[in-house]
């Protein structure tokens, strides 16, 4: 062990990374704690102790680093050596100073270390070769120093932040190399397994193609020799080999008998053959076994989607029920099964449709999607009767054939877009499909036999609930997906969207680096949505611009993009958010919250008083309910002017005008009641509304605050707008639990029972 040195240094904590010795990085210092540490560094020869902090706890080992000043709150630091963190105290400026025991790296010749280094180089080389990064491996692994070689693992995408911190805390090089060797062997084993699965699948496809060609050739030879087999006999052979339900087998047998008695020249001959072919294509009795490993299901769901905890929890509950029933011998022999119908409701782009594929992957089932948007013909669901020319089964039966099993995950996409006309109402035909008490005997008009849909897991999606008929809605379990926070969008962009767009643009991951600040700027300045669809389009535009530069040999080996470079690639920002401080700097303007088709939004309500006949003017395309809320607010103000500190003469001195921007967008609902009341009281009492607060709630003539809906979406909108306080009705207090923890920490909630509670919290 090398000799140690005792130092006293200021601590700079970092939350999303690790700095190792001999490593030079740029760190953004945004917090007051970080700025205080940098100021303290100037009193310690520009030296700080950088310590990772995870889940509120400091690592036991930090990195002694030198600091160079940067621009816009960024600093450049260079790691010098590891140091064990000792006791600490805070100085008069608020900086944390600790006693640090320095552990300089000393490379030494040791047979055991040499073996570990050799094994580690071999494993890492294999991992990089599997990824097509052989040249990178040659450059990285040529390093002589075992300590520096081990510390290069900080750049590996295969290691988690916890593992990198554990690596920093490993002061002994043998221990450090041993940890790395174990982790990288796991990565290599996973790569080998994936490659084996891919190779096996490719061999199976080639075998199937070869068999298909040979069978086609055999059929052609038989036809030339006049040895074509008897059609009815072939059908009977299939019937004997298949595990058909009794009623289905009986129906098929009758149709085969009819086929035998019928001339080939009869039009019905081809109709019967088409029906029989369809019946044999349906996977009667074929089922896939559910993957009942709950931990693995969570892993699959978390890997594909960030957030969406409620949906994932419901899927795992479904798995848990099936697992317990199977383990305890409670599997029912009847046709009915524990089927489920989930309805995912939320704004566009939040991942409702793609979640269906993740559910199928987690369960180990086949996945099939049916787009219901614009469907107006009932026959699309139930099929056409066989008497019509060109008749065929409905989408439900065809989807089972496509899936190849009777228990797939079935996605009914855009359920709120189903229409109705003279051809029937498809949503009514869906009632039987979506009823667990009835769908074990679903009857398609073309097949005319019962289809058991009770084992199918139905996942429906919709943007709004209002256009879904009440009977259909009653048969589903509604799960709301209310959109993502900006932090979640950045995480989704980094982990899911950017890698996909890099692949689409033909770029390698190491050719483009987009830092977190740039991703946050794209979310904040170039998109305005609850989901991430526009965000993915912007990332696609960014990667295409980079691909153009690289293809024209006009770019370096690695293109690094920060927030300052975004304008070059994406153009000028397209989203400008109204600052509450600018809008509420005069009395009579209050900040409300609303829910639109694209998620939550901030709503500014303006009030003014004019000379003229006493009355109320409303503008901004308001619905009847919202107009009534404005009249209620004015009536309450007039009735309680004395309590509110309003001069009665001023109250009677003219006409009031309430305006709700943006004027081109229709608005309705009672949830702006307390915002209108606050706007009027602010105007008449000449007291400004706080520029940090937003509110939502219905107001009554008695001044009571009634509950409203969409709390999560509204609070997320307030958080995106930089507001730090939200007023909610008392009966909506329980809905705060639905708001993400990170947002709850940033926002102070005021719970209101009456108008007095609202005004005391909102007015300066």
As annotated, the active-site residues are: 671, 714
For Cα atoms 32, 33, 34, give the angle at the middle one, nearest 5 degrees.
90
State the greatest distance between any 2 C-alpha atoms of the chain, in Å, as a whole number: 108
Q: Spell out the alpha helix ranges (H) of 226-308.
A: 231-241, 246-261, 267-281, 294-304
Strand 409-413 and strand 457-462: the pairing is parallel
* Euclidean distance between CA atoms 154 and 168, whole angstroms: 9
154 φ, ψ (degrees, to nearest 5): -60, -25
Query: Which region holds residue 241: left if phi is over 0, alpha if psi is between -120 and 50, else beta?
Result: alpha
Contact (CB, 8 A) for 458 and 434: yes
Q: Which pair of tokens denotes residue 222? A: 């038989």
Q: Spell out the alpha helix ranges (H) of 455-507.
A: 470-474, 486-492, 498-504
* Euclidean distance between CA atoms 636 and 633, whole angstroms: 5
* Euclidean distance between CA atoms 469 and 694, whole angstroms: 34
* Euclidean distance between CA atoms 363 and 359, whole angstroms: 6
* Euclidean distance between CA atoms 584 and 580, whole angstroms: 6
Q: Do you find a cis peptide bond into 662, omega within 30 degrees of 0?
A: yes
Query: Which region holds residue 686: left if phi is over 0, alpha if psi is between -120 and 50, else beta?
Result: left
Strand 5-14 and strand 47-54: the pairing is parallel
How many C-beta atoms surround the C-beta of residue 26 within 10 A?
A: 13
* Euclidean distance between CA atoms 367 and 356, whole angstroms: 8
Alpha-carbon dihedral angle through residues 446, 447, 449, 451, given to the nearest 10 degrees? -100
Q: Which pair of tokens denotes residue 714? A: 């509204």
For Cα atoms 102, 108, 114, give the angle at the middle one, nearest 5 degrees.
125
Residue by residue, DSSP assigns 382-413 as: H---TTSTT----HHHHHHHHHTSSS-EEEEE
* Euclidean distance between CA atoms 718 and 743, whole angstroms: 10
Q: Which pair of tokens denotes residue 589? A: 């303007």
Q: Which pair of tokens denotes residue 318? A: 């479904």
How many C-beta atoms surround the C-beta of residue 615 within 10 A?
A: 10
Burial of 352 from C-beta contacts in 10 A (0-12 / 13-18 / 19+):
buried
Q: Which pair of tokens denotes residue 431? A: 């009632």
Q: Spell out the alpha helix ranges (H) of 673-740.
A: 673-685, 711-720
3-state helix, strand, coil in the chain (%, to 5): 45, 20, 35
In whole angstroms, how large is the CA radius of gyration of the chain?
33
Residue 151, C-beta contacts closer than 8 angstroms, at least 6 positions apart: 20, 21, 22, 23, 167
Task: Tell me, rounded to whole angstroms, the distance of Cα 552 from its chain centroid.
Answer: 35
Q: For 228, which DSSP code?
A: P
How many C-beta atoms surround the C-beta of residue 288 within 10 A?
A: 18
For Cα atoms 652, 658, 689, give the angle at the middle one, nearest 5 degrees.
90
How many C-beta atoms surround the C-beta of residue 316 within 10 A?
A: 16
């Amino acid at each position: 062990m090398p000799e140690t040195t005792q130092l006293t240094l200021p601590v700079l904590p970092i939350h999303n990374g690790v700095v190792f010795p001999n490593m030079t990085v740029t760190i953004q210092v945004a917090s007051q704690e970080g700025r205080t540490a940098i100021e303290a560094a100037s009193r310690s020869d520009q030296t700080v102790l950088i310590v990772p902090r995870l889940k509120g706890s400091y690592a036991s080992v930090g990195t002694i680093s030198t600091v160079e000043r940067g621009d816009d709150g960024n600093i450049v630091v260079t790691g010098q050596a590891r140091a064990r963190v000792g006791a600490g105290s805070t100085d008069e400026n608020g900086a944390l100073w600790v006693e640090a025991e320095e552990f300089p790296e000393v490379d030494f010749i040791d047979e055991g270390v040499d073996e570990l280094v050799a094994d580690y180089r071999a494993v890492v080389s294999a991992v990089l070769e599997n990824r097509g990064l052989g040249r990178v491996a040659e450059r990285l692994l040529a390093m002589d120093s075992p300590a520096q070689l081990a510390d290069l693992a900080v750049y590996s995408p295969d290691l988690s932040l916890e593992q990198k911190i554990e690596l920093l805390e490993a002061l002994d090089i043998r221990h450090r190399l041993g940890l790395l060797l174990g982790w990288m062997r796991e990565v290599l084993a996973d790569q080998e397994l994936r490659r084996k699965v891919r190779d096996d699948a490719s061999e199976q496809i080639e075998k199937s193609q070869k068999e298909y060609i040979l069978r086609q050739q055999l059929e052609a030879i038989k036809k030339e020799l006049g040895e074509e087999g008897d059609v009815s006999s072939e059908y009977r052979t299939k019937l004997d080999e298949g595990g058909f339900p009794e009623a289905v087998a009986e129906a098929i047998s009758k149709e085969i008998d009819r086929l035998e008695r019928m001339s080939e020249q009869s039009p019905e001959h081809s109709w019967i053959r088409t029906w029989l072919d369809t019946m044999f294509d349906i996977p009667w009795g074929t089922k896939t076994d559910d993957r009942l490993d709950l931990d693995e299901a969570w892993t699959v769901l978390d890997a594909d989607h960030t957030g969406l905890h409620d949906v994932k929890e419901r899927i795992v509950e479904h798995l848990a029920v099936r697992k317990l029933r199977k383990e305890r011998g409670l599997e029912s022999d009847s046709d009915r099964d524990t089927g489920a119908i989930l309805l995912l409701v939320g704004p566009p782009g939040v991942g409702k449709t793609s979640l269906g594929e993740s559910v199928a992957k987690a369960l180990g089932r086949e996945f099939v999607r049916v787009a219901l948007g614009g469907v107006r013909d009932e026959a699309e669901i139930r099929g056409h009767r066989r008497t019509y020319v060109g008749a065929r089964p409905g989408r439900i039966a065809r989807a089972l054939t496509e899936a190849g099993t009777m228990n797939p995950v079935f996605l009914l996409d855009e359920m709120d877009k189903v229409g109705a006309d003279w051809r029937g109402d498809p949503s009514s035909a869906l009632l039987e499909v979506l009823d667990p008490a009835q769908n074990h005997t679903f009857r398609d008009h073309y097949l005319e036999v019962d289809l058991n849909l009770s084992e199918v897991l139905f996942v429906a999606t919709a943007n709004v609930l209002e256009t879904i008929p009440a009977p259909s809605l009653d048969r589903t379990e509604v799960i709301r997906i209310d959109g993502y926070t900006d932090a979640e969008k950045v995480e989704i962009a980094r982990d899911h969207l950017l890698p996909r767009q890099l692949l689409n643009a033909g770029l390698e991951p190491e050719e483009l680096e987009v830092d977190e600040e740039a991703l946050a700027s794209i979310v904040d300045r170039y998109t305005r949505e609850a989901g991430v669809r526009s965000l993915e389009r912007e990332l696609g535009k960014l990667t295409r611009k980079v691909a153009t530069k690289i293809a024209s040999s006009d770019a370096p080996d690695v293109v690094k993009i920060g927030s300052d470079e975004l304008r070059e690639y994406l153009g000028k920002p397209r989203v400008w958010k109204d600052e509450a401080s600018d809008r509420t700097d005069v009395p009579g303007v209050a900040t409300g919250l609303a829910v639109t088709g694209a998620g939550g939004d901030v709503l500014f309500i303006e009030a003014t008083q004019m000379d003229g006949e006493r009355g109320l003017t409303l503008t901004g395309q308001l619905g009847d309910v919202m107009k009534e809320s404005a009249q209620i607010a004015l009536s309450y103000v007039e009735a309680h002017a004395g309590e509110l500190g309003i001069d009665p003469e001023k109250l009677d001195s003219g006409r009031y005008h309430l305006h709700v921007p943006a004027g081109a967008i229709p608005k309705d609902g009672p949830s702006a009641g307390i915002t209108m009341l606050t706007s009027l009281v602010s105007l008449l009492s000449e007291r400004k509304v706080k520029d940090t607060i937003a509110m939502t709630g219905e107001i009554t003539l008695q001044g009571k605050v009634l509950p409203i809906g969409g709390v999560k979406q509204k609070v997320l909108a307030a958080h995106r707008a930089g507001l730090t306080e939200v007023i909610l009705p008392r009966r909506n207090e329980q809905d705060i639990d639905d708001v993400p923890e990170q947002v709850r920490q940033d926002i102070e909630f005021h719970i209101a029972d009456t108008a007095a509670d609202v005004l005391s919290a909102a007015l300066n």
